């Protein structure tokens, strides 16, 4: 046995602790890294909740090829501490979280979310909700004991988790079937782009139960990284092809662990996540909401009473949402990736929608479909109901963090060549610089260029906003070229 201080271990293995957990290349997520981080979470729970009776932890995973093995190591770490590992199999992150929180259990989701299959990660969730930023210091200050002989204890046997998996999924489905009207999607033709999303079958089941005629599209046994903030060109082309070929009213999908949604209209054009969030907020009748600073500013043109812009990341959004809930009754939040969080109970004519303070892909998809039906509008016609502001996002993969830092420092200067170059691309003068998260440049013509490094992957994110998709996209492409030089 050897004692390991998490803070020192992180520096040695170079697998950083980020928002709610860790992500890294699969070869970097060694058995020791996974084991030690799991022990760290267990020790964190004991420190953070000294009066909590910690006897079991739930786990689940996405469909990446590396997930089953990582689950084995997580299980081994949990059981090495005399705790029960409740394996829910392969379920959506919001479904795992929904079940775990209702049963006052901590949980670990093995997922890399939207990033490629050569990466994976661990998302740690407290028995009362997601890890907050202030939890990170406590987590990293923990000391754990590691058994160097762990490798000899690993076996390839998977536990039978079918029963618990069914319970988790059934409980999650009930959340929506007890709120939305039966058969409210009757007469609608909806495509489910399944790719390798862990919650694709759950989505098919829910839509079918609500009366939709469902067409399965692009289901794959090979992992496909679908990023709802940086939609792939092939997915844009597929959506247009499928809507035309099958006469669909919409196409829905999620990212790998099914906590981020995407929906395309009847013409095959994907909604941006932050625009999707606007319609959902209106449909649910929210009084107040929180959303990251990178979100579409069209939300300001709605009748929502209070809007709080935050740093990017669910912990910041949740913290702001909780603050708003002290003053307002109907409160929610959404991220630019489309994930929707609910901070208060929403009462409907059939039942209530309970609080779920974690990213959810299902509520926004079901809600916007309902909204279009209530308004008697096609999906593409919904845009006429909100201010004409369009965002576009992209990312530069394998972009070193050090290079990102240099770019941000350059943009923070009062005058710099990079600022001048970006101003030339936008063809406007910089009016305001917002440093809440990364560098957000607001121009006199109201266009926006926002640049920030990803918090959990070697990526540089570029967000742009303008009056049209073509303008926002063109600005984004030109700025990306500048930054890649």
Q: Active-site positions?
A: 113
Q: Which residue has the tokens 């990341």?
A: 313
3-state secondary structure of 450: strand
b/e sequence 284-293, b meaning 16+ C-beta within 10 Å: bebbbbbbbb
Q: How crowded is residue 116: how many other Cβ atoms within 10 Å of its Cβ?
A: 17
Query: For residues 301 and 423, what is the distance between their CA atoms, to the nearest angstrom?
Result: 26
Token code pair at residue 293: 């600073």
Task: For residue 221, count CB atoms less than 10 angstroms from its CB and return exposed for 0-12, middle for 13-18, buried for 19 or more.
Answer: exposed
Quickly list DSSP for 83-133. -EEEE--S--HHHHHHHHHHTT--EEEE--TTS-TTEEEEEEEETTEEPPH
Rounded Cα distance, 39 and 33, in Å: 10
Contacts of 69 (CB under 8 A, 6+ apart): none
Distance CA 159, CA 157 (A): 6
Is residue 92 within 8 Å of 199, Cβ to Cβ?
A: yes
| Cα separations in angstroms, 3 against 39, 142, 146, 147, 148 | 11, 10, 6, 9, 11
What is the SS3 assignment for 38? helix
Q: What distance in Å separates the CA atoms of residue 457 and residue 212, rounded to the nearest whole number?
A: 37
β pairing state of 2-5 and 17-18: unpaired
SS3 at position 428? coil
Is there a contact between 280 and 324 (Cβ–Cβ < 8 Å)? no
Q: What are phi and psi of 86, to 5 degrees?
A: -100, 100
Q: Give the chain's radius of gyration (CA, Å).
A: 22
Report helix, strand or coil for 138: helix
Q: Which residue has tokens 């479909």?
A: 369
Please, what sign has the CA dihedral across residues 111, 255, 401, 484? Answer: positive
Residues 6 or more apart whose Cβ sits within 8 Å of residue 94:
172, 258, 259, 356, 358, 359, 360, 361, 362
């Amino acid at each position: 046995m050897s004692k390991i201080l998490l803070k020192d271990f992180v520096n040695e293995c170079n697998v950083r602790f980020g928002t709610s957990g860790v992500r890294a290349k699969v070869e970097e997520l060694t058995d020791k890294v996974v084991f030690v981080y799991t022990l760290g979470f267990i020790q964190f729970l004991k420190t953070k909740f000294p009066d909590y009776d910690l006897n079991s932890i739930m786990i689940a995973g996405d469909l990446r090829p590396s997930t089953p093995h990582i689950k084995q190591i997580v299980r081994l770490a949990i059981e090495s501490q005399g705790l029960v590992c409740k394996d829910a199999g392969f379920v959506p992150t919001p479904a795992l979280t929904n079940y775990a929180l209702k049963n006052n259990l901590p949980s670990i989701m093995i997922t890399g979310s939207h990033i490629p299959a050569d990466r994976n990660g661990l998302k740690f969730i407290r028995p009362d909700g997601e890890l907050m930023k202030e939890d990170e210091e406590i987590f990293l200050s923990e000391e754990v004991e590691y058994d160097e002989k762990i490798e000899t204890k690993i076996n390839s046997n998977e536990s039978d988790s079918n029963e618990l998996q069914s319970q988790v999924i059934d409980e999650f489905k009930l959340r929506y079937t007890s709120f939305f009207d039966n058969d409210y999607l009757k007469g609608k033709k909806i495509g489910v782009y399944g790719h390798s999303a862990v919650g694709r079958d759950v989505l098919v089941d829910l839509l079918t139960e609500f009366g939709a005629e469902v067409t399965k599209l692009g289901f794959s046994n090979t992992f496909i990284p679908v990023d709802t903030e940086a939609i792939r060109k092939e997915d844009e082309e597929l959506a247009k092809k499928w809507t035309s070929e099958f006469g669909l009213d919409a196409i829905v999908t999620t990212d790998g662990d099914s906590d981020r949604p995407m929906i395309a209209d009847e013409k095959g054009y994907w909604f941006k996540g932050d625009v999707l969030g606007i319609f959902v907020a209106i449909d649910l009748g929210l009084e107040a909401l929180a959303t990251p600073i990178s979100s579409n500013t069209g939300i300001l043109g709605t009748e929502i009473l209070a809007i709080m812009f935050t740093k990017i990341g669910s912990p910041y959004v949740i913290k702001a949402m909780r603050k708003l809930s002290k003053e307002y009754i109907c409160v929610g939040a959404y991220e630019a990736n489309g994930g929707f969080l609910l901070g208060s109970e929403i009462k409907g004519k059939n039942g209530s929608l309970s609080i779920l303070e974690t990213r959810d892909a299902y509520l926004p998809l079901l809600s916007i479909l309902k909204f279009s039906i209530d308004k008697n509008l096609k999906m593409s016609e919904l845009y006429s109901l909100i201010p004409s502001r369009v965002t576009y996002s992209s990312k530069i993969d394998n972009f070193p963090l050090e290079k990102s830092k240099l770019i941000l420092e350059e943009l923070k200067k009062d005058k710099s060549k990079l600022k001048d170059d970006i101003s030339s691309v936008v063809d406007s003068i910089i009016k305001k610089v917002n440093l809440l998260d990364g560098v957000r440049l607001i121009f006199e013509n109201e266009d926006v260029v926002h640049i920030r490094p990803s918090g959990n992957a070697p990526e540089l994110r570029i967000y742009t906003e303008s009056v049209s998709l073509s303008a926002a996209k063109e600005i984004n492409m030109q700025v990306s070229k500048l930054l890649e030089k």
